[in-house]
A and B are shown apart, each in its own frame.
Chain A
């Protein structure tokens, strides 16, 4: 999956940077799409500066994950991470 066009990445230092340091060795789902990542990657490491903190909310395997828990939560093979934000709506 190509993350380089993700709106949330635009302008950030993390723009387009992949999640794997030495070639990904696990696959997780981010918003329904398969993403290759290094084992041991935390939610905080994944969010990094790719997404605008304070304007997103994260769910791991459908449970809300408060931002205080991001640094201590390592991702595992097959995990489903969801990143939400607000869009226009009535």
Chain B
């Protein structure tokens, strides 16, 4: 069964996208990326801290993957656009996850600024992947702005709370033709499978893998769960019933 997954006309070989933050070491991160079989990984652009011993992560990302820079740290559309342009000037490609956050407590995205940045960057030829609060009207605005996918949050970043926005994500899947990639908040493989069963095109996970006791083991578990959820979606789950319905015949045995 070939279940092709395209974004912006490009075939993406895995429906599991992995973030590179919070890993205990670059070696552990690399092992987790390999175990995840992810085709798209995310990273953040930052000023080099001249006082820090922190290493560049680029040497530890396996070859052949799509590196998608996020605009984390941006507080408005202008800052997100600047980060995207810097990333492209560095040679990090056209893929950009737009993340504009004005709320430092809940780290929820600012949809209005995200829509503005999406329009500017799509017009400049970026493959725009906006992270946003799952609102239907805003999803349509993002589509009209030129977004290549929609990345609604499942729950606030790093919480591992799962699909708190499940009903809203179902609406996005039903109403928009763009790939819906659930980003943020997914804490367990079962939650990733649930997102895929709902019809999400993919999921993006970082914290749940990076902070597991065995990140590579957890990455492999997520990859299996994403695949299982996708297959379940394609197979078409049976209807939910309010009352019991026997799965074995109840007559013709005892006469």
Interface residues of A (CB under 8 A from B): 1-3, 5-8, 10, 30-33, 51-52, 54-57, 59, 62, 64, 66, 82-90
Contacts and interface: CB of A to CB of B under 8 A. Distances in A.
A16 B50 CA distance: 11
Q: Which of B20, B56, B86 has the most CB of A within 10 A?
A: B56
Looking at chain A's contact residues, the main secondary structure is loop
Nearest to A52: B56
B111 interface: no
B19 A31 contact: no
Interface of B: 19-23, 29, 42-58, 67, 69-70, 72, 82, 85-87, 89-92, 157, 184, 204, 206-207
A82 B82 CA distance: 13
B50 A6 contact: yes
Contacts of A7: 48-49, 52-56
A7 B45 CA distance: 16
B58 A90 contact: no
Given A54-B91, A57-B90, A86 B52 contact: no
B29 A56 contact: no
A64 B45 contact: no
Contact of A55 (B21, B29, B58): B58
Contacts of B53: 5, 7, 10
Given A31-B48, A86-B45, A86-B56, 14 more contacts: A1-B50, A7-B56, A31-B47, A52-B56, A54-B91, A57-B90, A64-B86, A84-B90, A85-B48, A86-B46, A87-B45, A87-B57, A88-B21, A88-B22
